[in-house]
Amino acid sequence: MGVRRPRRLPELDSLEYFLLLIAMIVMVGFSFVSAVYAFSVAWLMPVIFLALYMILRVLIPLRGAEPRVRDFRDQIAALERRLDALQISLSATPVQYHIDNNEFYGNLAERVRNTARTRVDVTYFRGVPPSAFAQEKSQQYFRSLLEWAGQDPSRVVRRIIGVHNDRMREWAYAHWTDTRGTPNYEARVVEYLGKPDMFNMALIDDRYVYLAFSGRTDQSMSGLDIDDARACQYFTRYYDQNWAIAEPLADWVARTRGSR
């Protein structure tokens, strides 16, 4: 281990500051003497000005400490950034995983009924229509969207439907009949090849993201949900791109039914 160096007061590093320190001690002693012997004010005036000079002389070098203060401020800013990064890592984006239809659609239905306030954006790209799901919670979710939209006309539901076979086509026709009386429930159609199934999503109030992934059978699936506004913002941009190129359900029905 190295030898510790004795500490020295910074003021004693300079002969000038050493002399100022001695002079201030003398001034303190002189003030006591003058109080005892009642010296004339004429003697005290020079001493007062000398004391003021010494005080100012000590304070003036503080201007030279500005670079050190700036460096200290930079160190504090760097420390704040590290603390912010630590806080982000400690409060990582919460992700919840769902192993099957019941877990996923059950949680999503509860979110729509109890949490959603203004907007729900959803997609449906599957080989079978929603009516084909045997799980009750799946059916509860699909009913909850229409119920939620019907409770308040200021709410908005947008749904993108992928159509690629006769079963999905017939379901889309029936869905148009069921929803055309709810103006704040808007649906659009995207015709695609259907192989493989695309992942599906539900976006709620610019905060919650639900992602569903098809399984090996028509009844199997898994998914996850993310409670994060920034993640929802990214997925909303992707959703809006698909919404822009999709065909309104009413127009699609009129076009395809007329051609059959």
More confident residue, 158 or 87: 158
Q: Which helix (H) or strand (E) holds 157?
A: strand 156-163
pLDDT for 114: 93
pLDDT in the model for residue 76? 79
- What is the model's pTM? 0.64
Model confidence at 42: pLDDT above 80: no
Report the distance separating Cα 13 and Cα 177, nearest Å. 92
The three-class DSSP label of residue 204 is strand
Express each pLDDT in 119-143 by its tens digit. Answer: 999 999 988 898 888 788 888 998 9
User: When comparing pLDDT for 98 and 216, which is higher?
Assistant: 98
User: Can you tell me the mean pLDDT for 159-177?
Assistant: 94
SS3 per residue for 49-60 = HHHHHHHHHHHH
Q: What pLDDT sits at residue 10?
A: 47
Q: How far apart are CA 186 and CA 195, in angstroms?
A: 26
Residue 16 predicted with pLDDT over 80: no
C-alpha distance across the termini of the chain, in Å: 93
Cβ-contact 212, 200 below 8 angstroms: yes
Residues 164, 197: Cα–Cα separation, whole Å: 10
**How far apart (Å, rounded) are the C-alpha atoms in residues 229 and 132?**
33
Q: Is the pLDDT of residue 27 over 80?
A: no
Give residue 244's Cα distance to chain centre: 26
Q: Average pLDDT in the 70-76 region?
A: 75
How far apart CA 101 and CA 136 sit, in angstroms, is 9
CATH numbers and ranges of domains, the chain:
10-90 (no CATH), 95-258 (3.30.870.10)
Q: Which of 16-30, 68-82, 188-202 has the highest mean pLDDT?
A: 188-202
Average pLDDT over residues 184-190: 96
Q: Exposed/middle/buried for 249, CB within 10 Å: 0-12, 13-18, 19+?
A: buried
Q: How confident is the model at residue 255 (pLDDT cuts 50, 70, 90)?
A: very high
User: What's the confidence (pLDDT) of residue 216?
Assistant: 84
Instruction: Note the pLDDT of residue 81.
Output: 74
Structure token pair of residue 86? 């630590």
Can you name the residues that pair with 98 across neighbouring β-strands?
A: 223
Average pLDDT, the chain: 81
Handedness of CA 103, 109, 114, 117 (dihedral sign): positive
For the segment 169-180, the average pLDDT, to the nearest whole number, is: 94
Evaluate if residue 109 carries a pLDDT over 50: yes
Lowest mean pLDDT segment, chosen from 3-12, 34-43, 113-122, 153-162? 3-12
Give the model's pLDDT for residue 208: 96
Q: What is the pLDDT of residue 137?
A: 87
For residues 127 and 188, the model is more confident at 188
